[in-house]
Amino acid sequence: MKKLAFFLFVLLVGAGGGGYWALQRLNTPFRGYEGADQLVDIPTGASTRAIGDTLIAKGIVRDEFTYRLALWASGTARRLQAGEYRFDHPMAPRDVLGKIARGEVDTVAITFPEGLTIAEMSTIFEAHGFGTAASFVDAAHDPALARGFDADARDLEGYVFPDTYSVPRKTDAAKLVRLMVERFEKVLTPELRQAAAERGLTVRQLVTLASIVEKETAQPGERPEIAAVYRNRLKIGMPLQCDPTVIYALTRIGKFDGNLRKNDLTFDSPYNTYRYPGLPPGPIAAPGKASIEAGAHPADDTYLYFVSRNDGSHVFARTLDEHNRNVQQYQVQYFRARRAAERQANAQAGGASSSDPR
């Protein structure tokens, strides 16, 4: 009887010791890789065994026993998700599996500034290593994603919303473009659609106007005034005469070299608002939220003209005479003074050089 009691006591102590050891294995952080971090790629459809083999080989989990123990204790066997995961500090095995079960994949931030075309966005996409620029262009030329708000769209110009997106490294062009259009639809609230409709603008016309505003100014406070200028011109049938629309037309066929010349204003394109009245056929860039809001809610003013002050801001005018005076002050006189200053500086530099004793 005493021997049996002792034997049972030994079993309990052993079981307790084994349980404590197992508990320690589950909760002790482990790091078996060198370097600052380790990326682990779990393919779609990978078995739990294959996932375990990868985690062990990468130094994320100590061994197969520990992995199996953590898998059983966490109950995550059916919830492990595919993707690329980054590990940058020691983690307990159950925490490793929890991260994978929650799908906390490693992401990369990619930023598309306001005012870019599809072609310009595609170079950013490629530069971040997601894929080729051509694949982004192809995805953004599929108008299917715009059918719900623009049945006439031939591509997604203006509808791939400019913003910062945190996405998995293996996000392809089609998925990213879909996310960008979904973001656009969230920004284009029912209130904005209603405000545009009350002004007689379709979604396409609103975004086209907003894209012009975006290209004309980077000053947030000016956007409603710029929108007012073009709204007022549309009301009275006055040509928009917007340089960015001509630049867009030339860029589309590879004929813009960075300088807009006077004869370019006669270029025959429906996007040339010097030749064709009204809004161009579609957006000329991707407008941000502020420009879309300005298009839906332009300033309540009668401005018809504006001209650059050469410092990023503009001065506005209601009459042609007032506008001509602004042009004389901020363009003609400004550039005359600058050229004179450059000539004087060059003359002084030449004099200093001729008197150099060397």
CB 279 within 8 A of CB 207: no
Lowest-confidence pick of 23-37, 103-117, 137-151 = 23-37
Closest CA to 127 of 110, 149, 143, 144: 110
Q: What pLDDT sits at residue 350?
A: 65
Helices within the chain (DSSP H only): 2-27, 48-57, 64-74, 93-101, 118-127, 133-140, 173-187, 190-198, 203-216, 223-236, 243-252, 289-296, 320-327, 333-354
What six digits make up the tokens of 305?
A: 């003209």
- For 25-101, CATH gives 3.30.1490.480
pLDDT in tens, 253-310: 999 998 999 999 999 999 999 999 999 999 999 999 999 999 999 999 999 999 999 8
151-174 mean pLDDT? 95
Lowest-confidence pick of 119-123, 212-216, 332-336 = 332-336
**Higher pLDDT pick, 21 / 201:** 201
Domain topology for 106-187: Dna Ligase; domain 1 (3.30.1490)
Q: What pLDDT sits at residue 4?
A: 45
Lowest-confidence pick of 20-34, 137-151, 160-174 = 20-34
* Local confidence band at 19 (pLDDT 50, 70, 90 cut-offs): low
CB count in 10 Å sphere of residue 211? 30
pLDDT at 210 over 90: yes
Rounded to the nearest integer, the mean pLDDT of the chain is 90
Q: What pLDDT sits at residue 7?
A: 40
Q: Using CA of residue 290, residue 293, residue 299, residue 305, what is the dihedral sign?
A: positive
* Local confidence band at 12 (pLDDT 50, 70, 90 cut-offs): very low
Q: What pLDDT sits at residue 185?
A: 97
Residue type, 19: G
Phi, psi of 281 (to 5 degrees): -60, -25
Please tell me the class of the 304-344 domain. alpha beta
What is the secondary structure of 206-243 as a DSSP string?
A: HHHHHHHHHHH---GGGHHHHHHHHHHHHHHT-----H
Quick one: which H or E segment has residue 110?
strand 107-111
Q: Which residues contact 37 (CB under 8 A, 6 or more apart)?
A: 86, 87, 88
pLDDT at 358 over 50: no
pLDDT at 3 over 70: no
28-56 mean pLDDT? 94
Query: Residue ranges per domain, the chain?
Result: 25-101, 106-187, 201-298, 304-344
Phi, psi of 311 (to 5 degrees): -130, 15
What six digits make up the tokens of 53?
A: 């083999």
**Higher pLDDT pick, 94 / 339:** 94
Q: In angstroms, rounded to a whole number, what is the distance separating the alpha carbons of residues 137 and 160? A: 11
pLDDT in tens, 328-355: 999 888 778 777 777 777 777 666 555 4
**Higher pLDDT pick, 41 / 5:** 41
Percent residues over pLDDT 90 in the chain: 80
Q: Which residues contact 47 (CB under 8 A, 6 or more apart)?
A: none
Quick one: which H or E segment has residue 40?
strand 38-42
Q: What pLDDT sits at residue 333?
A: 81
pLDDT at 125 over 80: yes
**300, 284, 177, 258: CA torsion to nearest 10:** -130
* Local confidence band at 251 (pLDDT 50, 70, 90 cut-offs): very high
What is the 3-class SS of 148-176, one letter each residue?
A: CCCCCCCCCCCCCCCCEEEEECCCCHHHH
CB burial of residue 216 (10 Å; 0-12, 13-18, 19+): buried
Domain pair 25-101 / 106-187, same fold: yes
